[in-house]
Amino acid sequence: MFSPIGARIDGAKVTVVDISSIGARLEHGFPLNISAHVEVAFEFDAEGTVIAVPCEVVRCKLDKSIFKDRISYTSGVRFSEPDGTAVQELMNLVSHVVKEDLDARREYAKKRK
């Protein structure tokens, strides 16, 4: 699955599965300690922007990976400062990415008619 939003924790790549105004669900190949405080650097390649958001790990579980030889963990992180400027910037960029995607889909649908 393609995600226009990448992320890193301590320099290690993680996959953004879901994101909201209060937190995110991430997939990664290493465990995170519940209640740990981590900084998630959300990366928007198209915009060349990185937004670092302090988070608390609220859950982490070992999951089955679609790749047989890989270990996969799914974690839920809660934004430590949901009303902070970093989260506001993050939500603005997420809205922008979603709007661009919807606009592109509309244009594609018009061309197919």
- For residue 2, the 8-state DSSP code is -
Write the CB contacts of 29 (distance below 8 Å, at least 6 apart in sequence): 12, 70, 71, 72, 73
The string of pLDDT tens digits covering residues 64-85 is 766 677 789 999 999 999 888 9
Task: Provide the whole-model pTM.
Answer: 0.81
Confidence at 1, pLDDT banded by 50, 70, 90: very low
Measure the CA–CA gap between 18 and 74, rounded to whole angstroms: 11
Q: Which domains can be identified in the chain, with CATH numbers? A: 5-112 (2.40.10.220)
Burial class of residue 38 (count of CB atoms within 10 Å of its CB; 0-12, 13-18, 19+): middle
Q: Report the pLDDT value the prediction gives residue 42, as an integer from 0 to 100.
A: 94
Measure the CA–CA gap between 75 and 51, rounded to whole angstroms: 19
Q: What is the 3-state secondary structure (H, E, C) of 39-83?
A: EEEEEECCCCEEEEEEEEEEEEEEECCCCCCCCEEEEEEEECCCC
The string of pLDDT tens digits covering residues 5-59 is 889 999 999 999 999 999 999 999 999 999 999 999 999 876 678 999 999 999 9
Q: Please check the confidence at residue 62 and state whether its pLDDT lies above 70.
A: yes
